Amino acid sequence: MGKKSSRPVLVAHHGDTHVGSTASVMPPKVGLDSGGTYEASKSQLWYWKCWLRFWRDVAKLKKEYGAKVLAVSGGDQREGDHHETTQIWFESEADQDRAVEEVYQVANEVADEWVFVRGTEAHDGPLAAGTEGYARTFAEAGWNVRQDGERYSWYIWTGVVAGVKFQDKHSPQTKSRVPHLQDVAASRQAQYTWEEYAHDWIEPPDVAVWHHVHYRARGWYQGTFCYVCPAWQARTAWAVGNASSPRVERPGGVCFLCEGGRWRPFELSYKPESAVAWAK
């Protein structure tokens, strides 16, 4: 009794699933509130296959290293009904909520514990309370959700896992739409984060993870590593406005294997079959 477990922890970060968008991951078929069904498009089925593969790959790492999995969901879990978009498939929030739950159920087969981070209000609703609602529903269903006091989700999560300090927030303070400067922006973010902590004589995080900008980037400053997770959504009509090519950002996420204050990253990223994944 009382022997401390020395199992390493695999912290699996992912975000921006935007379930409800016609350009995002979703289950192959969902029932609609007023009857009938909506079937995922070819590109959505590709995201769904990648999503299943992502969690299979996390499960493989879990087994290989005998680790516990702490899954960190980084916000924009759903698409919501925003900015008068027509690129949504759901008729009522109930349809969308069921699909979100089905998508995350796949992940809970692998996760031992959860952190839910709130996303953008346009997607997750006022106060990003959509995230809070999902996290509470999951906790009530028996999922092991790490709480922020009385709440089930976090605006900014900080935690020390197997001696490694993390910070996870949805939107970074700085970004770049210039492809070759995206890692530079991630390094700039690492510096902002490091300095904010250091300014108040608080130990900066070893790893800071961000989402929201829908591209993958990596940067360093001093002892802080910054990782920006990609999204599980292809470009919407709005996002095409910021794009200069038909390139599809690879969906995926990043796992950090933590043990005794040391960490090691494993990037999981899924290459489209062509520049336009569903063209074949």
Residues that bind Fe ion (CB under 5 A): 16, 76, 119-120, 212
- The CB-of-141 to Fe ion minimum distance in angstroms stands at 25
- The CB-of-236 to Fe ion minimum distance in angstroms stands at 10
Q: Which amino acid does the sequence have at 162?
A: A
**Residue closer to Fe ion (CB basis): 16 or 259:** 16
- The CB-of-142 to Fe ion minimum distance in angstroms stands at 28
- The CB-of-79 to Fe ion minimum distance in angstroms stands at 9
**Residue closer to Fe ion (CB basis): 168 or 259:** 168
**Residue closer to Fe ion (CB basis): 62 or 211:** 211
State the SS3 of the chain.
Answer: CCCCCCCCEEEEEECCCCECECCECCCCEEECCCCCEEECCHHHHHHHHHHHHHHHHHHHHHHHHCCEEEEEECCCCECCCCCCCCCECCCCHHHHHHHHHHHHHHHHCCCCEEEEECCCHHHHCHHHHHHHHHHHHHHHCCCCECCECCECCECEEEEEECCEEEEEECCCCCCCCCHHHHHHHHHHHHHHHHHHHHHCCCCCCCEEEECCCCCCEEEEECCEEEEECCCCECCCHHHHCCCCCCCCCCCEEEEEEEECCEEEEEEEECCCCCCCCCCC
Residue 56: alpha-carbon gap to chain centroid: 16
Under 8 Å between Cβ of 122 and 80: yes
Under 8 Å between Cβ of 79 and 123: yes
- The CB-of-262 to Fe ion minimum distance in angstroms stands at 31
**Residue closer to Fe ion (CB basis): 229 or 268:** 229
- The CB-of-74 to Fe ion minimum distance in angstroms stands at 9
**Residue closer to Fe ion (CB basis): 147 or 171:** 171
**Residue closer to Fe ion (CB basis): 130 or 204:** 130
**Residue closer to Fe ion (CB basis): 169 or 212:** 212
- Of 14, 214, 234, 31, the residue nearest 108 (C-alpha): 14
**Residue closer to Fe ion (CB basis): 68 or 167:** 167
- The CB-of-269 to Fe ion minimum distance in angstroms stands at 17
- The CB-of-211 to Fe ion minimum distance in angstroms stands at 7
